[in-house]
Amino acid sequence: MSENTQKAPEWMGTDGLNVSCTEKIKVLNENYDEIREIAAEAFEDAVLMGCDPAAYRSAIIAMIEGLEEPYSS
């Protein structure tokens, strides 16, 4: 699936149930699309500048996995 046709995931709440609020889903989908677009542009830049695609993907994945939950106790 190309980046332009990739469907946003089903958003799950902390209770394991799907998020059902239409406005929340709209915001989550908009954020997802924005991140996907920025990531695609950055990946293209990295490849054009000679970065190893696998290494760049690994760095981006590590960055995402390193995000801390802002509201965790």
Render pLDDT for 9-50 as a digit per residue (tens, 0 to 9): 999 998 999 999 999 999 999 999 999 999 999 999 999 999
Dihedral-angle region of residue 51 (phi above 0 means left; psi in -120 to 50 means alpha; beta otherwise): beta
- Cα 56 to Cα 17: distance, rounded to the nearest angstrom: 33
- Cα 52 to Cα 56: distance, rounded to the nearest angstrom: 6
What pTM value is reported for the model? 0.79
